[in-house]
Structures are given as C-alpha cells and as structure tokens.
Amino acid sequence: MEPVRAFLIDSNKLFREGLKRLLDDSPFQIAAEAGNLREALNSVENGLRPQLILLDLVNGGEEEADGMRRLRAQLPEARMVILTSDLCTRRLANALEAGADGYLMKDLSSDALAQSLRLVMMGEKVFPTHLAALLISGRVNGNGTDMPVSRKGLSQREVQILRCLLNGDSNKMIANHLNITEATVKVHLKSLLRKINAAVTAAAAHQ
C-alpha cells in the first residue's frame, strides 16, 4: 500500500505523539496535526491537503458538527475517521451527517486500527463492532442508558451483513460468504448506514 498522508486532530498532545509512534511502521504517516477543528481549518485554508483525517470529537455540539462539515467541504477527496474514547449517539449522528467514513474507539489495537484505516482508504465504512451488535439487538446505548431503536424495515439480508461486520469482515468477504456481488453488498451497506444514522439520531433526541 502506498504511503498515506494523515492529518491528526486531537486536543491531547500525548495521544498525538503516541499515535504517531504507533503508526511509524504502517503506511499511515501523520503529516500534520492540530489541537482542535479551528486550527485544522486554518491549516487547510493555508494549503494542507491530507488524504486521511483522524479526528477526535470533544463535545458533539453543533459548532463541532459545523466544523466537520466545513472540513469535509474543503477536503472532499480526503477520508475522515473519528477516533474517540466513547460511543456517544449524538457524536456518532453528527459524524455520519458530516460525512465521516468511520467511527472508531481509541481502545483499538494498533493492528486493528491500521486494518480499519486500510478499509477506509479502499472506500469502505468502518464503525465499532459493538455498534453492530447493539443494532442487531435493537438497542443503541446513549450516555450509559440503553435506548430502544425500532428495527422496522431491517431486512434479513441487512441483519446478515451486520453480523458479518460484527466479525470484522470486508465487503469482499461478506460478498463471498453470502454469495452475492460486492456491488450488492455496497447497496445494502448504504441502506444500513442510513438506518444507523436514523437510529443514533433518534436515540440522541432522547438524551
């Protein structure tokens, strides 16, 4: 895999330093970093053009969501992955709405992170495996409280694909396992992502 220029946006300098070292032997090289979205937008306005954006969300507020949308608008070709410490429905909903390509937890192993980022660079979407588990069970967790989420319209095939995602399968692996084409998998994934977005938005509205 060709080297990938990554832009790391995180308020924790120690985390930024640690992640840079963890990724030293991977194709993902931290070419630039910022402490917040405001700094990041300034860097982009000054000509920074990363291929990958790694971003931690601070509060999931509207200002932050607006910053993500502006970043996405200025870097439409870049992949955007949220790296965060907890699965918050409001933050996830904002990330999806802003066009994030992935939402990953910081407790991932370095190997799992690198593999997830490879999938993102191949055009796939990555989300926490336990989000798939919660969706399969019909529940999304919001700030420590289980919120029931309607699964009306979730087809048997979509549940099968969610279970494959839970196992960490790629689009190609899912296609082979279910005897369907990768194009069909992508169609189902788009539908699933819309439903994930609707589910977490509904849960966030009750927080």
pLDDT at 167: 66
pLDDT at 129: 62
- Pick from 78, 111, 127: which residue ends a domain? 127
Q: What is the pLDDT of residues 17-28, one digit of tens each?
A: 999 999 988 999
- The whole-model pTM stands at 0.68
Q: Which structural domain range is residue 164 located in?
A: 128-207
Domains of the chain: total: 2
Rounded to whole angstroms, the Cα distance separating 174 from 97 reads 25
Determine the angle formed by the axes of helices 129-137 and 156-166, rounding to 10 degrees: 150
Based on the fold, state whether residues 50 and 137 are members of the same structural domain: no
Based on the fold, state whether residues 120 and 137 are members of the same structural domain: no
SS3 assignment, position 52: strand
Could you list the beta-strand ranges (E) of the chain: 4-9, 28-34, 52-55, 79-84, 102-105, 139-142, 145-148
Based on the fold, state whether residues 107 and 179 are members of the same structural domain: no
Based on the fold, state whether residues 62 and 141 are members of the same structural domain: no
- Pick from 127, 158, 189: which residue ends a domain? 127
pLDDT at 146: 40
Mean pLDDT, residues 106-123: 87
Based on the fold, state whether residues 140 and 118 are members of the same structural domain: no
Q: Which residue would you say has higher pLDDT here, 196 or 178?
A: 178
Q: Which residue would you say has higher pLDDT here, 151 or 64?
A: 64
CATH code, domain carrying 199: 1.10.10.10
